[in-house]
């Protein structure tokens, strides 16, 4: 529940009407390093999806897979190459810039009791500046309707909120966030995980 990537998959599954059989792994106890789990996912990361024997990890890849396989329409991941390319760019932005800035700043404090790194904080601010620019005049992060990019970024931004990062300084992000909370299936479960 505390993992943004896991919560994004929960929201993505809800958006396409897939009921997940969730398994909670205790990472501190090394449950992701057992031979059984390593057979499914040798990279031993969460989330990992197993769909009728097909194993996939990396939350953004899982979101795309769920949308392509189970979406009743292509609205979450349209077939148009240009729309899809923009969604992919935003997914990669989330993975390599936005979520990464969260991990680089907060994880050392949470898991290693390290002091806050002001340089890492500047990277968070830069990531939010980029996102704010992407959202100029936009309701959604990649196009004119909710996509898997919104779902991934919503999970990440909600983690920033629960970590007390001031999202309100970024007007476009704040406006998008308030709307995304209302229109994204599974938001309630996402927020419950954040609070946990």
Phi (first) and psi of residue 8, to 5 degrees = -65, -40
Cβ 141 vs Cβ 90: under 8 Å? yes
DSSP string for 4-39: HHHHHHHHHHHHHTPPP------TTTTGGGSHHHHH
- 107 and 158 part of one domain: yes
Long-range contact pairs involving 163-171 (C-beta distance under 8 Å, separation at least 24): 163/102, 163/106, 165/124, 167/128, 169/128, 170/128, 170/129, 170/131, 170/132, 171/132
The reported pLDDT for the residue numbered 81 is 98
The reported pLDDT for the residue numbered 73 is 96
CB atoms closer than 10 angstroms to residue 127? 21
Residue at 76 is within a domain = no
DSSP state at residue 48: E
The reported pLDDT for the residue numbered 103 is 97
What are the pLDDT digits (tens) for 89-98? 999 999 999 9
- 97 and 183 part of one domain: yes
Residue at 101 is within a domain = yes
Kindly give the parts of the chain with pLDDT less than 70: none
Active-site residue numbers?
A: 3
- Domain CATH code at residue 93: 1.20.1050.10
- The whole domain housing 9 covers 4-70
* Omega within 30 of 0 (cis) for the link into 47: yes
The reported pLDDT for the residue numbered 29 is 93
The reported pLDDT for the residue numbered 177 is 98
- 55 and 87 part of one domain: no
The reported pLDDT for the residue numbered 180 is 98
Encoded tokens for 173? 């992000």
The reported pLDDT for the residue numbered 42 is 97
The reported pLDDT for the residue numbered 135 is 98
Cβ 132 vs Cβ 158: under 8 Å? no
Report helix, strand or coil for 99.
Answer: helix
- 53 and 90 part of one domain: no
């Amino acid at each position: 529940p505390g993992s943004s990537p896991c919560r994004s998959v929960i929201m993505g599954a809800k958006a396409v009407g897939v009921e997940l059989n969730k398994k909670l792994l205790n990472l501190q106890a090394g449950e992701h390093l057992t031979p059984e789990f390593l057979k499914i996912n040798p990279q031993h990361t969460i989330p990992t999806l197993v769909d009728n024997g097909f194993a996939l990890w990396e939350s953004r890849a899982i979101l795309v897979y769920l949308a392509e396989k189970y979406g009743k329409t292509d609205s979450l991941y349209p077939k148009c190459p240009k729309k899809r390319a923009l969604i992919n760019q935003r997914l990669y932005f989330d993975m390599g810039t936005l979520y990464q800035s969260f991990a680089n700043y907060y994880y050392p404090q949470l898991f290693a009791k390290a002091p806050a790194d002001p340089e890492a904080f500047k990277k968070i601010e830069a990531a939010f500046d980029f996102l704010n620019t992407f959202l100029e005049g936009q309701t959604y992060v990649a196009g004119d309707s909710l996509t898997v990019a919104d779902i991934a970024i919503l999970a990440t931004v909600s983690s920033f909120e629960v970590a007390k990062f001031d999202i309100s300084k970024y007007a476009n992000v704040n406006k998008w966030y308030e709307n995304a909370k209302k229109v994204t299936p599974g938001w309630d479960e996402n927020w419950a995980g954040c609070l946990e």
